[in-house]
Amino acid sequence: MSSILIKNGRIVDENRDQTGDVLIRDGIIEKIADDISECADTVIDAAGKAVLPGLIDMHVHLRDPGYTYKEDILSGCEAAAAGGVTGIACMPNTSPVNDNPEVTEYILLRAKHAKARVYPIASITKRMFGDELTDFHQLKRAGAVGVSDDGKPVENGEKMAQALQNGALAGLLPISHCEDLSIIDGGIINKGAVSEQLGVKGMDRLSEDSITEREISLAKRTGSPVHIAHVSTKGAIEAIRRAKSEGVPVTCETCPHYFILTEQELLKRDADYRMNPPLREESDRAAIEAAVLDGTIDCIVTDHAPHSAEEKRDFEKAPNGVVGLETSLAATLTALVHTGKMDLQQLCRLMSGNPARLLKVPGGRISEGEVADLTIVDLGEQWTVVPEKLHSKSKNTVFKGKNLIGKVKMTLLRGNIVFED
């Protein structure tokens, strides 16, 4: 029986904030107390540091199978561990698409010895073509925790309505990528002053707002839950806030870049700042931040989307997507916690507790009998994001060169140390 004793840490989750010790035995939190004197195989002095539940990122692209030159399951989980992330929900837009039990099982087999738990999100439709629903019950039995055609919406509204109902019956959370492709029509950044200044085709915010409204209507009609991915516009968040007040079963997520950055970053003509949906205007950034703080937004995720340097070289032709597993915690600490806008307990709810509940997976809290998935963080340590030092295979981060406050010093998965700085 292996044991670890964490001493003198500031132990924080959504329900607690105390200084004390945590005793871990065989991957489970056995005891939490002000002072534990029992012997352990390993003793970790966490004085001056925060002990948080491992983060659960419910929106990640691991690119495996099919695009492993960008990322693979092991490298993505190594990046996750370095960022304090112990659970990853991986999206199905791989090659082949995760639309059948064989691909789901492949992902789980590859993840067996990874440095984070991996939770497959299967596709809503076969090959993500939008016309034939996958077998949700079969995918659930294989190990999927949710369904999504992320990267594009399910264009047929009735198909999506059926998907919400099937998801509720199978116990799989439907996650919607809310963009009307006919409205986007080849746009590559937000449609507005910056796209005009750069002379490139913009993506109208109506594309996100309209599909968000549709999904809310379908959830209301069917009474079945839907989760809205990577919310980026003021209009979309207003619709979600209104729907929640009416009791519609809708939840949502956003990413740090949407409440920290704006489309002004695109003036650099650097494709590392291009993602989907795109960086928006200051009014959108402020609305997303406010929604994070008031609880309208349920989760902070990364939408970690690795691409090679070669793919990102041409500003206009590059694919959309940014990496984020190693910066999400520090970026959120810097922008919201250290500015006094949010406390650590709320951060734990958004980045660990709520994702665990939505996906119905272990973790998300520090309590006796819970899995020992933890991250130890020096809240005051400042560091500069150097892309070349990231553990991900791809280096396309929007925070390159930025100074962040809060550094992961150690990550434990199932009671084992998987990262140490």
Asked if the structure places residue 118 within a domain, the reply is: yes
288 lies in the same domain as 408:
no
Predicted TM-score (pTM) above 0.95: yes
Domain count, the chain: 2
226 lies in the same domain as 315:
yes
Q: Give pLDDT < 50 ranges for the chain.
A: none
pLDDT in tens, 131-140: 999 999 999 9
Helix residue spans in 223-367 (DSSP H): 234-245, 256-260, 282-294, 328-332, 344-348, 354-359
Q: Which residues, 6 or more positions from 158, have their beta carbon under 8 angstroms from its beta carbon?
A: none
pLDDT at 363: 98
CA dihedral 232, 177, 375, 79 (to 10 degrees): -100
39 lies in the same domain as 59:
no
273 lies in the same domain as 413:
no
CATH label of the domain that carries residue 166:
3.20.20.140
Asked if the structure places residue 384 within a domain, the reply is: yes
* Six token digits for residue 165: 């109902």
Residue 270 is a catalytic residue: no
For residue 145, the cross-strand partners are none
Asked if the structure places residue 364 within a domain, the reply is: no
E strand or H helix at 140: helix 136-142
pLDDT in tens, 70-95: 999 999 999 999 999 999 999 999 99
Which of these three, 318, 336, 359, is where a domain ends?
359
Enclosing domain of residue 332: 53-359
DSSP 220-243: HHH---EEE-S---HHHHHHHHHH
pLDDT in tens, 189-215: 999 999 999 999 999 999 999 999 999
44 lies in the same domain as 100:
no
* Six token digits for residue 342: 């949010």
100 lies in the same domain as 44:
no
DSSP 389-409: G-SSS----TTTT-EEEEEEE
Rounded CA Rg of the chain: 20
Which of these three, 309, 336, 359, is where a domain ends?
359
160 lies in the same domain as 148:
yes
Entry field: residues in the chain: 421
Which of these three, 315, 339, 359, is where a domain ends?
359
The catalytic residue among 303, 373, 378, 421 is 303
CATH label of the domain that carries residue 7:
2.30.40.10
pLDDT at 1: 67
